[in-house]
Amino acid sequence: VVNIMWFRRDLRLTDNAALYHALKNNTPVLPVFIFDSNILDQLANRSDRRVVFIHEALQAMQSKLSALGSSLEVCHGTPEESFRKLFEKYAVGKIFTNHDYEPYATERDGAIEKMAVQYGADFHTYKDQVIFEKDEVVKDDGKPYTVFTPYAKKWRARLQPFYLKAYPVEKYYDRFYRRDLVAVPALEEIGFKPAKEDFPPSDVPDAILENYTQRRDFPSIAHGTSHIGVHLRFGTVSIRQLASRAVKLNATYLNELIWREFYQMILWHFPKVGKGHAFKAAYDNIKWRNNENEFRRWCEGSTGYPIVDAGMRELNTTGFMHNRVRMITASFLTKHLLIDWRWGEAYFAEKLLDYDLAANNGGWQWAAGSGCDAAPYFRVFNPALQTQKFDKDLRYIRKWVPEFEELTYPQPMVVHEEARKRALETYAKALK
C-alpha cells in the first residue's frame, strides 16, 4: 500500500502542510504531479512561461527526491484519467493534497474524492497556500467580509505565531516511497516547447521588504517590489515563511499579502466572480463599446498613451507588469475605451507569469468599479497625472516606449477628457 501526495500549486518539499501530514503516516508516500490536459489544452501559447516554470520546479523537486531514493510520478492527462491509472497501478490507501479555492479546482477535487471512495481510498486536504482561508476571517455574524479594511484588521488580530510556523517536513524524509528515478517528461512530450526564461528568484532580499513602502509605487525601480507572485502561485515559496518575514520587516508588505488572501476568500464565497459575473450585479448592465481594433491597440501597446503602452509592452515582453501600471492599463481599457473588463482579464490571464484567478479577477473588477470594495466608478485614472506622480523622470516609459517623443509614435487614440466624460455617462446610465 502507498499513500499519494498530490502536488498542484505547492511545488516544494519543505514547509508543505499536506506533505507533512502524508509523511507523518507510516505508509510510504508516492509523490504525484499531473500535467492537467483540461488546463494545458486551453493555453494558446506552446511555449507558455508558466508551463516552463512548473517544469523547472518539478525538476528541482525530482533531484531532491532522487537523493532520497524516491521519484515523482508525473502524469499527463485529465486528473480523472490519471487517477484511474494510479489506482490500477498501486494499492492506494490515502490521498493527501492542499486546498485550492478556484471553481475548477473545487469541482476537480470533488470528482477525485468520489473516485477515491470507489477505490476504497480516503481523500485528505489541508490549508497550505494562505495563512487564513475561507471561513477563518469572517464578520462577527459569520458572514464573509466584502470590504478589505475591516477584513485586514480582523486578519491581523487573529494572527498568532502558531499560524506562521513551518511544517517540519524534513523530519520524515525517509518515508517517501522508494523507487527508481523516473524522468520528468520533456516539455515536448506534453505538447510544449522549451524556452529560455529568467524567472525571478524565490528568495526576496531583506532590503526589498525594508524599502517596500517607499519604493513599491515606482515602476522604474527594478527591485521596488518582490516579484514573488509566480512563486506564491505555484507554491515554490511558503506563504508562512514569507508572511513571517513581512511581520518582522514591513507592515505594508504584509498588507499586500492580506489582499491576496482577501481575494481568495472572495472567490471562495462568491464563485460567480470567477465565472464571468460582476461582483456588483448592476455593473453587468454597462453597454461596453468593445471595439476590437481598439482592443488590439491596447494589447500591443500602441494607444498613444506612453504609460499605458509601456505597461502593455512590459507585459508582452516579460510576462510581468508593475502593480501601479496594471491599475493604469486596466482603468484605461475599461474607462477610456469602454471595453469589457472580462476582455482585459482574459488577456492578462494569458500573459501574466504570476496569473492567479482570484487576484486577477479582483484587480480587474476593482479597476472596472464592479468589484467588492472597488474604487468608485467616477474615479477615472488620468494617465498624464499618473505619469507625473509615479514616473516623473520618464525612466519606465523610456525603457519600454523609446520612440514616444518621435513622429512615428501614434497620437492618443482617445482624448482623455472626452473619454472620461463618455465613461461617466455610460456608467451612470447602467447604474441608475
Positions annotated as catalytic residues are 256, 259, 288, 323, 341, 364
Judged by beta carbon, residue 183 or residue 207, the one nearer ligand FAD is 207
Q: Which residues bind ligand FAD (CB under 6 A)?
A: 216, 225-229, 232, 256-257, 259-260, 263, 323, 326-327, 330, 348, 352, 354-356, 359-360, 362-364, 367
Judged by beta carbon, residue 63 or residue 214, the one nearer ligand FAD is 214
Sheet holding 122-126, edge to edge: 73-77, 29-36, 2-7, 92-98, 122-126
Judged by beta carbon, residue 40 or residue 327, the one nearer ligand FAD is 327
Judged by beta carbon, residue 78 or residue 318, the one nearer ligand FAD is 318
CB of 308 to ligand FAD, least distance (A): 13
CB of 208 to ligand FAD, least distance (A): 7
Q: Which residue is nearest to ligand FAD (CB)?
A: 363
CB of 312 to ligand FAD, least distance (A): 12
CB of 124 to ligand FAD, least distance (A): 26
CB of 28 to ligand FAD, least distance (A): 34
